[in-house]
Structure 1
Amino acid sequence: MDPEVVEIARAETERGDVVLRRRSSAAGADVLELRVNGVFVMDTLETTSEIELAAQALELVDEPRSVVIGGLGLGFTLQRVLADPRVERAVVVEIEEPLVQWMREGTVPHGPAILADQRVSIVNADIAMAVAEARSTYDLVLLDVDNGPGYLVHEANEAVYEVQFLRRCRELLSPGGVLVVWSGNPAPDLLDAMREVFGSAEEQRHDVLLQDRPEGYYLYLARAT
């Protein structure tokens, strides 16, 4: 391992290993990095698209009182949701309990303050199961559960990007509610599936700098009309 990279937490789950590492940025600042089964998921340096996942949806809905987020990550999507005073309830579905613990106990330093917000509830479950069993409706459904359909960390997540699951997401949305799905790569099949379910959908590219490399991350948006 690079001597400038330090592993600070590791957990073995039935899906594999979840690892939190600390490295130094080019400017010398500490950066936390989340990896699952050896695959880079996200870090605390480039969080633009995770924040925009929430910001774009919040902009489209007049009264986003209730929000469900698929995937806790390092908490930046949730943090942006909670920054909006219109939000009254934020449900986060996260399958990896160790990640929730690291956020709660401060292994991720900004985690305790985010999860202490009284509007937040955490559901430790697979997103497909949680959505299938949900009985509430939501104004926003925000999904960031993998690296996108073209670069899956867990093969089981393929269903999250398919018509049947997207239809269930639409059923959960209140009238005028918005679904946004994050992807690390262009996902034309996902865009087609969302258009089939919602009638129309939009692809947004967000330029990011990932470990000093210019990259593009993608958001896919659709509204329940």
Structure 2
Amino acid sequence: MPTEYAEVARAESERGELVLRSRREDDGPEVLELRANGVFVMDTAETTSEVAIATAALKLVINPRDVLVGGLGLGFTLQAVLTDLRVERCTVVEIEEALVGWMRDGTIRHGQRVLADARANVVVADISLALAEARESSYDLVLLDVDNGPGYLVHDANAAIYEPPFLGLLRRIVRPGGAVVIWSAAEEPGLERNLGGVFDHVEPHSYAVDLQGREETYWLYVARQESSAR
């Protein structure tokens, strides 16, 4: 039986078209799928990377009281962060207002449950502007998951996120002893170099995942902040 698709919601912004659609294969469960300008972003069937970035990152910081997540997506990274009771507040910066609305109004069915956690704080803004306005040393941990890495951009303008000026903003808002973790679908030596020019220590970590019977290798780039002075 062929896969059946149905459009759930659609929105237009200055960045283009955002579509949420459902699909069903044979007698399997309904899967929600997010696409930006026709390009697949993520779905509810495979959440390995979203959970992995949170799980791995939370192990890096002794007391991750304040966490910043760049990119809401379908909410699975936020959900994973909130399972850690050490987290007192998790701020998520998401540029697409429609996506936040779909989470809040139940269009994305699990969205209301995730956002009901009093520790969750969702900000609709461009991540660069949000970081520029944030106080110095505001966060213990920053997770960046707005693309599939610098080689697989959702929007061309996101290329700036992986360059030194933006990475410098990340360093400014991370507390001493904190960490920045950037997820990538592929090894990115250029990103490692850029991070190394800004942070005290950088460590790339690869990890294997099973995507419905297909083995893939993903990467987490961990940048650590030892002191506020440089």
Indicate the TM-score class for this superposition, using the shorter chain for normalisation: over 0.9
TM-score under structure 1 normalisation?
0.93
How far is 1:50 from its partner? 0.8
SS in 2 for 1:197: coil
CA distance 1:156–1:118, shift in 2 (3 Å): same
Cα drift, residue 154 of structure 1: 1.0
Q: Look up the match of 1:29.
A: 29
Moved more, 205-214 or 61-70: 205-214
Q: Distance in 1 between matches of 2:214 and 2:19?
A: 22
Residue 76 (structure 1) aligned with residue 76 (structure 2): yes
Q: Deviations over 1:197-217 (max 9, x none)?
A: 113212222333446644332
Structure 2 distance, partners of 1:160, 1:45, is 27
1 CA distance for matches of 2:74 and 2:31? Answer: 12
The gaps in structure 1 that reach 5 residues or longer are: none
| 1:85 aligned residue | 85
1:15 alignment counterpart: 15
Matched, 1:208 2:214: no
Residue 172 in structure 1 maps to residue 177 in structure 2: no
Inter-partner Cα distance in structure 1 for 2:6 and 2:98: 18
AA at the equivalent of 1:65: R
CA distance in 1, matches of 2:176, 2:27: 46
Identity of aligned residues (%): 58
| Alignment partners' CA distance in 2, 1:102 and 1:206 | 31
1:223 aligns with 2:206: no
**CA deviation vs aligned residue, 1:98-157 (integer Å, no higher than 9, x gap):** 100111111111110111111111111110111111125100111111222112121111
Larger mean Cα displacement after TM superposition, 18-27 or 176-185: 18-27
Which residue does 1:51 correspond to in 2?
A: 51
Show the counterpart of 1:116.
Answer: 116
1:38 is matched with which residue? 38
Q: TM-score, normalised by structure 2?
A: 0.91
Deviations 1:44-78 (A, max 9, x none): 11111111111111111111000111000010110
Counterpart of 1:9, as a letter, is A
Q: Which structure 2 residue ranges, 5 or more long, are not aligned?
A: none
Contact 1:178 / 1:223 at 8 angstroms: preserved in 2?
Answer: yes
Secondary structure of the corresponding residue to residue 61 of structure 1: coil
Q: Which moved more, 1:168-177 or 1:201-210?
A: 201-210
Q: Residue 106 of structure 1 corresponds to which residue in structure 2?
A: 106
**2:29 aligned partner, one-letter code:** A
**3-state DSSP class of the match of 1:168?**
helix
- Would you say the 8 A contact 2:3–2:24 is kept in 1? no
CA distance 1:40–1:212, change in 2 (3 Å): farther
Distance 2:207 2:13 in 1: 32
Question: 2:107, 2:84 → 1: CA distance?
Answer: 25
145-154 or 64-73: bigger deviation? 145-154
Structure-1 separation of matches of 2:17 and 2:85 = 36
Number of residues of Structure 1 aligned to a counterpart in Structure 2:
224
Structure 1 residues 23 and 210, CA, compared in 2 at 3 Å: closer, same or farther? farther
